[in-house]
Each structure stands twice: as structure tokens, then as C-alpha cells.
Amino acid sequence: MAGGFLIDIQLLKEKTLVVIILIILILVSAYFSSSETAMMALNRYRLKHLAARKNKSAIQTQKLLEKPDRLISLILLGNNFVNILAAQITTVITLNYFGENSLLGSTLILTAVLLIFAEVIPKTIAATRPEKIALPSSWILNFLLKIFYPAIWLINQLANRIIKILGVKNLTRTSDTLSTSEIKTVVEEAGSRISEKYREMLLGILDLEKVTVEDIIIPRSEIFAVNLEDDWSNIVEQLKYCRFSRVPCYSGNINMIEGVLQMRKIRQFLLTNDEFALKDLKALLSEPYFVPSTTSLYIQLTNFQIKRQRIAFAVDEYGELDGLITLQSLISEILGGFTDTTGINNRDVFPQEDGSFLVDGSANLREINKLFDFELPTDGPKTLNGLITEQMQDIPDVGTTFKLDGMTIEVVKTLQNAVKIAKLTKTDQNRSS
């Protein structure tokens, strides 16, 4: 009896030990699985930020990720070794204590346990908290990499040779550099981490390269300028009531720009009516600065800085004046609602009770799209009048209606061979031209 009792105790101890070993193996497998997922799910830019701040764990993790083939080989080597060992132990226990008939059942149970506790659960947790798992784990993985380096090197050599045999030649890791469109997506999806105003500003900066001077110029027809060939009294009268800090001056024709007058230089004269003549006015003019209309805003912003200019005249390929661009309007394009300029909402667009909008023909298409989330094409004409006349191939009559890009456009008023006011109504129909 005593002998049998001792045997039972010994057997129990053996079973307990085996169970503990299996639990340890499952935990180790879970560690490798979670480490793999966490390493691959890490935000690379967040990691670079932490490494730049001298975070030792982040630096260690970066080194591991520099050679992902070694890291993956290490994790897979460890995971597979542990899983196979667990399977063998389970097989031996089943054969010794339960017989061959129980082998299938034990295999299914072990598979389910490994799948749930060593794969699904740890990988799910790692995917949601990659940084908390990957950074501490990097020290253990680096230690294991040094120990098992010969085996990992051999595995990688064999794997690379097989890959070459299969015809895969380029094994170089693609760059982590984001394109402009990808950066825009990151900014747009930042959510509450970036306020709406700051998000608009960042998007405005990203758009500088694809937006040209032509897109934001003040058209030549709307430029406030002084004709130096006009009567001196008329010139003085215009300057007295001028609300701009800088005024273009021309001789006879707007294309003949003589220079730019800074109002602060003649403010004293306007207040005191001291003697002041046309020649004195011309002496105060600064040299005009001309730029091609096709210049990107990114380049133009740089040029404003280099040349120390605040105003530029945009010209077409024939040297004809297209319009005027100021440093203020360029900054306004970037900052949007941060600026104190008059918005298109008040000046050019008039919402109606039926949900439509009466829009001035000179209104800029990009500004209309930005303000009301329209999708009017901007790759051709820059104004609503230009868009309508291009689509109609003629100066349309009042009442003319057509559909374009989900919008119903109706000509309400024409003036001097141009569309003065149009009515825009957003529709649910598919785009058509």
C-alpha cells in the first residue's frame, strides 16, 4: 500500500512538472508571437522621435529593425522550436498515460490552446500596444540574437539562396519616406491630436508645390492702380482714399507698370497738403517685380524672402499682365482662417434659402471648392466665369443652365461679355460635362 501510494505521488509530481513545462512553453511562444507583431506594428516615425531623444530601448529597437530578416528569423526560430517541443511533450504524455487512441484529441486540444493563448491573444494585444511590448522586448531579442547568431545566419543564407532561385532579385527594404499625398492623409486622419485650424494650415503648406501664382492672383481687372498720365488732382484724390499699403503705378496702360508706391512715404503729404509733384511721386516708386503666372507658390514664397519683396506682378508667356500677388495673399493661402483678410464668403458668394449659392463670376474656383466642399475643376480656368465660358464655348445668355461635376450651374447675369453672377446648386447626380 505504501509503495503504491509513493508511486502515485511520484506520478502526480511528474504530471505536474510536465504541465508546468507546457505552460512555460506556451508563455514563451506567446512572447515570440507578441514581439513579432509589436515590432512590425511600431510607428516608425514615433520610434525615430524616441531614438532622437536618446531613449535606449528605442535605439535598441531601431538597430533590430535595420535588419528585419535577422529579427524575423530569430522570432520564427524561437517560436517554432517552442511549439514543436510542446507538441512532442504532449505526444509523449499522451502515449504513456492515455494511449494511442487519445493522440488525435490531445493534438486538437494543444492546437486550440496554442492558437488562442500563444497566437491570437498575444498578437491582438501587441497590435494595439506595440510600443509597450516592442521596446522592452528589444533587449531580450538582442540578447537571444547574439546567442543564436550562427543558426540565424545559416537560416538566412539558405533562405536567400532559395529566394534567388525563385527569381526574386530585389530584397532591399523600401524607404519609409512618405509622399506628399501620404503626408496629407496622415494630417487629415490626425483627428483631435491636431486642431482643425492647424490641420488646414499644414494642408495649405503641402499644397504649395501644386498650386501656382495664377491660382491666387488678383486679376488685372480688379487691381487698384494709379495711372500716372491722369490729372494730378485725380491722382491725389485716389491716393487720399486708398486703403492699401502699396499701390501699383502705370503709364497709360496697365501693362506698363512703372513701379510700386508705399503709401507711408506720402502719408505726410496727404495729411498736410504740402507741395508735392508728379516727379516727386515717381522718385518714390520702387522697381516692379515680375514673375511668371505658372510659378509654384512654394518657389514664390522663397523668392519673396530672397528678394525681400511683398508684391509681385504675374505675367503670361507673352509678357501680358495677368494679375497681382502679394505676400499677404500667399500667407493667407497657407494659414486660411488665421488671416484677417476678407473672405470669399462675404465678397463673392451669397447663400440662398433653397440651399443654392449666387456666385460672382470673378470668384476663384479653388476658394469656392475649399469654402463649400464643391468639386469644380481647377485644372483649366481659375474663375467661375472662365469655367462657364470654357464649358459653353461661348458667352452664354441669361438663364442658360448646365450640369458639371455634381453641380447645376445657371447663368443669372452677364456684363460686358462675361458672366457676372451664376447660381450654383449641388446635385446628387454623377459627374458629367
Dump the DSSP string for 286-344: BPP-EEETT-BHHHHHHHHHHHT-SEEEEE-TTS-EEEEEEHHHHHHHHHGGGS-SPPH
pLDDT at 294: 87
Counting as low any pLDDT under 50, the low residues of the chain are 1-7, 337-345, 429-433
**DSSP 8-state class, residue 105:** H
CA 394 to centroid of chain Cα atoms: 39
CA geometry: angle 28, 32, 34, nearest 5 deg = 110
Say how far apart CA 304 and CA 330 lie, in whole Å: 10
Collapsing DSSP to helix, strand or coil, 7 comes out as helix
Torsion angles phi and psi, residue 19, rounded to 5: -60, -45
Q: Which three cell numbers stand for residue 134?
A: 516592442
Contact 374, 351 (CB under 8 A): no
Say how far apart CA 389 and CA 419 lie, in whole Å: 8
CB neighbour class for 292 (10 Å; exposed up to 12, middle 13-18, buried from 19):
middle
Collapsing DSSP to helix, strand or coil, 407 comes out as strand
Q: How many other β-carbons are positioned within 10 Å of the β-carbon of residue 5? A: 9
Q: Which three cell numbers stand for residue 330?
A: 500667399
Alpha-carbon dihedral sign for residues 226, 332, 213, 373: negative
Say how far apart CA 57 and CA 139 lie, in whole Å: 7
Dump the DSSP string for 107-173: HHHHHHHIIIIIIIHHHHHHHHSHHHHHHHHHHHHHHHHHHSHHHHHHHHHHHHHHHHHTT----PP
pLDDT at 433: 38
pLDDT in tens, 57-97: 888 888 888 888 888 889 989 999 999 998 888 888 888 77
Say how far apart CA 256 and CA 258 lie, in whole Å: 6
Say how far apart CA 368 and CA 297 lie, in whole Å: 19
What domains appear along the chain, each with residue ranges and CATH number?
2-165 (no CATH), 208-338 (3.10.580.10), 344-426 (3.30.465.10)
Q: What is the pTM of this model?
A: 0.54
Write down the residue that cell numbers 512538472 correspond to: 17
Task: Please report, as a single letter, which amino acid is at residue 332.
Answer: S
Say how far apart CA 90 and CA 67 lie, in whole Å: 35
Q: Which three cell numbers stand for residue 117?
A: 493563448
pLDDT at 274: 64
Q: How many other β-carbons are positioned within 10 Å of the β-carbon of residue 147? A: 10
pLDDT in tens, 385-433: 888 888 888 888 888 888 887 788 888 888 878 888 888 888 754 444 3
CB neighbour class for 416 (10 Å; exposed up to 12, middle 13-18, buried from 19):
exposed
Contact 389, 395 (CB under 8 A): yes
Nearest to 156 by CA among 68, 63, 69, 39: 69
pLDDT at 324: 92
Alpha carbon separation from 381 to 296, 328, 374 (Å, rounded): 16, 23, 16
pLDDT at 249: 93
